[in-house]
Each structure stands twice: as C-alpha cells, then as structure tokens.
Amino acid sequence: MYLNLVELAESFGVSEKVVEDWIRNEGLPCVPDRGRLLFDRARVADWAAAHGLTARAGFLAPESGAFAAGLELAPLLRVGGIWRDVPAAEVTRLLKKVILGLAKVPQPVRDLLARRLETQGGVNWAPVGGGFALPHFSTRVTLGREGSLVALLLLRDPLALTDPPPPDAIPVTRLLFFIPPSPRAHLDMLARLSRAISQGPLGELVKRGATDAELFGALSASAGAAESNEPPGGPSVKP
C-alpha cells in the first residue's frame, strides 16, 4: 500500500515540509511517480521504528474495531486529567504539558505534536455551544491505545474564538481536548463527547462545579448508554 505526501504528513501530524526534510536529511524512503512522491507503507513503518517514530498515527496506525465502538471516555479523562481555573492565555501551554506527559509515546512524536499545538491552524477548536468547545488536532493525529486521551480544562476567563465563533455566542470557558486511538474513532469520540455535553448530565455538572468523581461518573454513564445502543465493535487527575 502506498501513501501520498499529504497522507504521510497527516499520519505523523507534521507539515509536508517536515516530511520533505526527512527525505533529504533522514533517508525517509519514497518513490517518485510522475511528479509526485509515494511512500510504501511497510518501508515507512520500518524507517519510523528505526527513528523512534513508531507507526501509531493516522494512516499508519493499526486499526481496531474496538476503538471505533465501545469507547470508554472516563479512563481517557484520567490520562488527560481535569484542570481547573486555567487562564485562557495558558491553554496551549497546558495542552502541551498534557501531550509531553504521554510517557509511552516516543519522545519525537510528543515533540512533533507539541509543536503542532503552536502552529497556526494546527488545532480545530470546535465550539459546540453552551460555553463548551472540543479542540482536537486539525489533521487526523492518532497514537493508538497508549496515546489516546481526553483532557477537561475549566477556564478562569473566556477563550477568544472567532473562526468559527461559538454557535450561540456564549463565550467558551470549558474545553474537552481529545486525541482518539485510531482514525475510525475520531468522529466517534467527537460525537460521544458532544452527546455527553448536550444530552447527558456532563454539561450541567461542569456548569455547577461538580467534583471530579461526579464528572468521571457522568462520562462512565454516557459511555454505557452509548454502548447499549450501538453494536460492539496514567496520571492522576490534576486539580
């Protein structure tokens, strides 16, 4: 199976220029084809492993139906953590800290993703209304079982979002940042988190300042409800 330049860049969560630099400077194997570059998946996986970039992202990630359905959000929140009273100006720094804390993800991958947070257009902030947004990487960056997470950030002051703005004009002060375990799970996680906010108790619990235990319980309940209607398919929480 061959990937093109865009697909390979998305797989590692980097720009196309970074991939081109890898070709020139790091010996990333590629095949010229009528003015474009193609990449053999198996050869790229071998190169990535040799360079500490294990094949866990995007089009290179091993797929598993268990990731696309039956997701348990509460354990993912325990990895990303609940962060309270976060200044809006510190959101990117905090998300960077969360990603760099993924000890089982290779350091080069963590560094790449941390830089991606600071790249213009690197994050889709996805405001969903009610003061909530569901930020995630603009490209389908996925890291497998050991790199997936959900992080809840409760902000001290509103986050200025204009592209797009909140659909109901309510300032965004609550973020659920997520990294899915596989490409197939990306939209599933987005939908489940949206439902947990709008249809489940999670949204109201956050608004009234519920405890961590109550928030974990709400996510566990929403995951159980979702599984009952669908086919089967870290670190401590920070104050």
CATH architecture of 2-60: Orthogonal Bundle (1.10)
Give the model's pLDDT for residue 67: 38
**Residue 192 pLDDT more than 50?**
yes
Please give the pLDDT value at position 52.
62
Element (H, E) at 133: strand 132-133
Residue 81 has pLDDT above 90, yes or no: yes
The whole-number pLDDT of residue 50 equals: 73
Domain spans in the chain, listed from the N-terminal domain onward: 2-60, 65-228
Taking only the tens place, the pLDDT of each residue in 13-36 is 677 887 888 898 888 999 888 888
Handedness of CA 145, 16, 122, 100 (dihedral sign): positive
What's the topology of domain 65-228? Mannitol-specific EII; Chain A (3.40.930)
Q: What average pLDDT score do residues 173-181 get?
A: 93
Give yes or no for residue 174 having a pLDDT over 80.
yes
pTM to 2 decimal places? 0.66
Cα angle 23, 28, 29 (rounded to 5 degrees) comes to 110
Six token digits for residue 233: 């398919």
- Reference 151, options 174, 130, 185; nearest CA is 174
C-alpha 198, offset from chain centre:
20
One-letter amino acid identity for 83? W
Percent of the chain with pLDDT over 90: 31
CB atoms within 10 A of CB 114: 17
